[in-house]
Amino acid sequence: MTDSDPVIAQVEKWLQDVVVGLNLCPFARKPLRAGQIRYVVSDAAGEKTNEVLLEELLQEFQVLDRCSEEEVETTLLILPTQLRDFHDYNFFLDDAEWLLQRQGYEGIYQIASFHPHYQFAGTNPEDAENLTNRAPYPILHLLREASLERGLKNYPDPENIPHNNILRVESLTEAERKALFPYLFS
pLDDT value at residue 154: 86
- Here the contacts of 174-178 (C-beta below 8 Å, separation 24 or greater) are 177/131
pLDDT at residue 3 greater than cutoff 70: no
pLDDT one-digit tens code per residue, 27-69: 999 999 999 999 999 999 888 999 999 999 999 999 999 999 9
pLDDT one-digit tens code per residue, 137-159: 999 999 999 999 998 888 888 89
- What is the pLDDT averaged over residues 120-134? 97
Give the domain ranges of the chain.
4-184
- What is the pLDDT averaged over residues 117-137? 97
How many CB atoms are located within 10 Å of the residue 71 CB?
A: 12
